[in-house]
């Protein structure tokens, strides 16, 4: 099964345009991966980078993979962490956390990054919030590709990010035409999104701004580029149940969202994010809720 879909454009923060591949139509999740934004590669003018004021999360992990540029993470646990190229920030919301993400202030710059959300399983949704900075990711070279293991275990390497469902994630970069075959877990579902250029994956051409869903049951996949390029491959055990995704929350019921919204707007539950100089975002009125799964 190969299923090709097109990411839609969305605005993050003040005016940063991203390509949003998940949730989308027809594919809303890949394993526990329930959200995928791709930013850049792009240059930005002073004060036009990523500026997202304090905002809350529940029921998920935010996973940021930085390829170019720098962004400062601030959260309600007191963490302040600059993420730089080749690094991952993983924030576990659990029952509730708030954070802000800000490009270096007042400067022009460049950004290329992917941010994904991972839905937490029922038994972990109320866990304590946490933050993990991962500065050194496993890297291997294979058949003209430089491959970074972002999540899970592969090529005899295990990535540092701590997740709560079986997942895999790779960044594959080629400097020129290249071709390789990747071993896959047939119990996982997988998807590929080019982050630069295009590729032929399992015989299907796929371009930047598109998501190619590979389904389950594959023990390998052939990946070919005809020029320099970069791809993101994600996968995991099918999640097995619907999740509700609205604003910055992942839950199971509308009541989850109503309580989280009321708590955030009333200043309860999510703590405060110090030292950003930014006003907290206000949760909008609940409307248009849709099950994502």
pLDDT digits (tens, 9 = 90+) for 30-85: 999 999 999 999 998 887 788 999 999 999 999 999 999 999 999 999 999 999 99
CA distance 194 to 190: 14
- Report which of 143, 163, 186, 2 is spatially closest to residue 91, judged by C-alpha positions: 163
pLDDT in tens, 91-113: 999 999 999 999 987 778 999 99
Half-sphere exposure of 227 (CA within 13 A, CB side): 4
Please say if the pLDDT value at position 14 is more than 90.
no
Q: What are the residues facing 230 on neighbouring strands?
A: 173, 196
pLDDT of res. 1: 79
pLDDT in tens, 217-274: 999 999 999 999 999 999 999 999 889 999 999 999 999 999 999 999 999 999 999 9
pLDDT in tens, 263-274: 999 999 999 999
CB atoms within 10 A of CB 241: 11
- Report which of 197, 243, 290, 249 is spatially closest to residue 30, judged by C-alpha positions: 243
pLDDT of res. 13: 72
- Report which of 163, 157, 161, 154 is spatially closest to residue 138, judged by C-alpha positions: 157
Model confidence pTM above 0.85: yes
pLDDT in tens, 127-159: 999 999 999 999 999 999 999 999 999 999 999
Classify 223 as helix, strand or coil: strand
Domains of the chain, start order: 3-236 (2.60.120.10)
Beta strand 71-75 with 145-151 is unpaired
């Amino acid at each position: 099964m190969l299923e090709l879909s097109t990411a839609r454009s969305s605005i993050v923060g003040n005016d940063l345009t991203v390509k949003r591949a998940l949730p989308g139509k027809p594919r809303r999740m890949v394993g526990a991966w329930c959200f995928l934004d791709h930013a850049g590669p792009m240059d930005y003018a002073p004060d036009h980078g990523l500026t997202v004021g304090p905002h809350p999360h529940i029921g998920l992990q935010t996973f940021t993979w930085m390829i170019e540029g720098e962004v400062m993470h601030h959260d309600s646990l007191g963490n302040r962490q600059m993420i730089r190229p080749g690094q991952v920030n993983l924030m576990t919301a659990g029952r509730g956390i708030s954070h802000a993400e800000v490009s270096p202030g007042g400067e022009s710059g460049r950004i290329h990054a992917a941010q994904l959300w991972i839905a937490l399983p029922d038994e972990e949704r109320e866990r304590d919030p946490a933050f993990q900075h991962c500065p050194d990711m496993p890297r291997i070279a294979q058949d003209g590709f430089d491959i970074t293991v972002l999540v899970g275990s592969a090529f005899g390497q295990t990535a540092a990010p701590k997740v709560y469902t079986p997942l895999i994630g790779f960044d594959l970069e080629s400097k020129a035409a290249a071709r390789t075959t990747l071993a896959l877990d047939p119990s996982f579902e997988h998807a590929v999104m080019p982050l630069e250029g295009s590729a032929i994956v399992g015989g299907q051409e796929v371009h930047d701004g598109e998501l190619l869903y590979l389904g389950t049951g594959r023990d390998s996949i052939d990946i070919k580029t005809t020029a320099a390029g970069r791809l993101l491959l994600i996968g995991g055990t099918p999640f097995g149940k619907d999740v509700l995704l609205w604003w910055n929350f992942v839950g199971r019921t509308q009541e989850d969202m109503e309580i989280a919204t009321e708590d955030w707007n009333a200043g309860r539950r999510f703590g405060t994010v110090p030292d950003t100089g930014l006003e907290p975002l206000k949760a909008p009125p609940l409307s248009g809720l849709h099950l994502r799964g």
